[in-house]
Amino acid sequence: MPLDPICKKIISRDTEYFSDYGGKNYYFCSSECKHKFDALEKSVIRLKRNLSEKEKISFGKLKRDIIKPGICTLCGACAASCEYITIKDEKPELIGPCKACGVCYYQCPRTITTEEGLIGSFRYAYAAQSAIPEIKGQDGGVVTSLLLYALDEGLIDCAVVTVHSEEEPWKPVPIVAKTREEILKSSGSIYSHSMTLEALMSAVKQGMNSVAFVGTSCNIDAVTKMQKSSYGFLHLFMRAKVLKLGLFCMDTFAYEGIKAVLESYGITLDNVDAMKIRKGKFEVALKDGKEHIFELSEFDEYRSSSCRFCTDLTAENSDISFGGVGSPRGYTTVLARSAIGYEIFNEAIDNGYIEARQLTDDELEKVLNLAKMKKVQMYDLHRRQKT
């Protein structure tokens, strides 16, 4: 005897209430149960249609990312949303053709697919560039321009930034920048970790009341904990307001490692004008105008071990996040998150320091896709440890 899938009552096949879904007949005790079932299946069909216009995701991806590594919670969401998935031997299993509609993957509680889950909450997304001709930034020079605006207007007393060591070219040195010249020296990216927290503590101890702090997600998270911690630092951070400016970050590398790889190709760091990681490549521009492009894999052994555990591409705990992903070349992607971050960024636009437009959906999608790769690193690590 069939079971009503809504109320779970056993009923006769002679019932006048039934529906065909996916080539299978479902039987109901009443019109109310049939109506609920039909409404539910229409929602699933609508979801599948919506997802079909996006990335094709098959059951195989769910198996690779969630089931095989042992991350599955056995909640049954995948089986409930697809007639060709069942739970067998305490694991989801595909028992029919997969149309790669993505429903099973998007309903799984262990996958990270929502916009907020991937890059955190934000008020507005921009593609921006500096409006100040003298600024030579990494992408659009927006962080430097914003710092200059805040300093010129007296909104900050100083900025904690990273500059190049004068003794060892391209070695990161965190400083407390109090002048326009010091801020300009900090423009451009350095792909080695900078211990900016020491500089921040120094600024607070010096009595700086308003500090802009520039750092990657790990350093931004440390500042956030210090601001909230009751174990020793809270009294210091009650004296100073910190504007957290987060930098998109996929990886950092040991300084000596970068130096070794480049020197193996006859490139010395004092001849390097700029570095850029773009689309899986490590781009190095020399002062003589030449450019060298390396596979990022050549630097793998020097990748910071902590980066293998990090799942935050966009510095989600910052007031504003900045990165080169999504926006066209020469522009910076900006995610204004907090109220103060949104206000100060738009004030910089209004006062002619920055030019910006809304980030398009396609551009934001590029950020989400890279963020997704970063988020599932822990699953990949779990899988490697089990094999």
**Which of 42-56, 99-113, 204-218, 232-246: highest mean pLDDT?**
204-218
State pLDDT tens for residues 268-312: 998 998 888 887 789 999 988 899 999 888 998 898 888 878 889
State pLDDT tens for residues 4-31: 877 778 888 888 888 877 667 788 888 8
Phi, psi of 6 (to 5 degrees): -95, -60
Mean pLDDT of the chain: 86
Residue 48 is predicted with a pLDDT of: 55
Q: Kindly indicate the confidence band of residue 387, based on its pLDDT and cuts at 50, 70 and 90.
A: very low
Q: Kindly indicate the confidence band of residue 178, based on its pLDDT and cuts at 50, 70 and 90.
A: very high
Q: Which two tokens stand for residue 355?
A: 């030019």
Give yes or no for residue 209 having a pLDDT over 80.
yes
- Cα–Cα dist 170/287, whole Å: 13
Q: What is the DSSP string of 216-265?
A: EHHHHHHHHHHHH--SSSHHHHTS-EEEEEEE--S--B-HHHHHHHHHHT
Q: What is the mean pLDDT of residues 140-162?
A: 95
Domains of the chain: 1-52 (no CATH), 57-110 (3.30.70.20), 120-251+303-379 (3.40.640)
State pLDDT tens for residues 109-142: 888 878 888 899 999 999 999 999 888 766 789 9
Residue 300 is predicted with a pLDDT of: 87
State pLDDT tens for residues 307-360: 878 889 999 999 999 999 999 988 999 999 999 999 999 999 999 999 999 999
- Cα–Cα dist 17/30, whole Å: 6
**Which of 12-16, 157-161, 231-235, 279-283: highest mean pLDDT?**
157-161
Q: Kindly indicate the confidence band of residue 379, based on its pLDDT and cuts at 50, 70 and 90.
A: low
- Cα–Cα dist 234/257, whole Å: 37
Residue 130 is predicted with a pLDDT of: 94
Phi, psi of 130 (to 5 degrees): -65, 145
Residue 382 is predicted with a pLDDT of: 47
Residue 386 is predicted with a pLDDT of: 46
**Which of 7-16, 174-183, 187-196, 374-383: highest mean pLDDT?**
174-183
Look at the block and give the residue holding tokens 């019109």: 31
* Cα separation values, 4 from 8, 9, 26, 36, 151, Å: 5, 5, 7, 11, 68
Query: Distance from CA of residue 71 to its chain's centroid?
Result: 21
| Helix or strand holding residue 357 (H, E) | strand 354-358
Q: Kindly indicate the confidence band of residue 203, based on its pLDDT and cuts at 50, 70 and 90.
A: very high
- Cα–Cα dist 59/98, whole Å: 7
Sheet architecture: strand order including 281-286: 272-278, 281-286, 291-295
Residue 46 is predicted with a pLDDT of: 53
pTM for this one? 0.76
State pLDDT tens for residues 58-104: 899 899 888 988 888 899 899 988 889 999 988 999 999 998 888 88
Which percentage of the chain shows pLDDT scores above 70?
90
* Cα separation values, 166 from 169, 170, 269, Å: 6, 9, 12
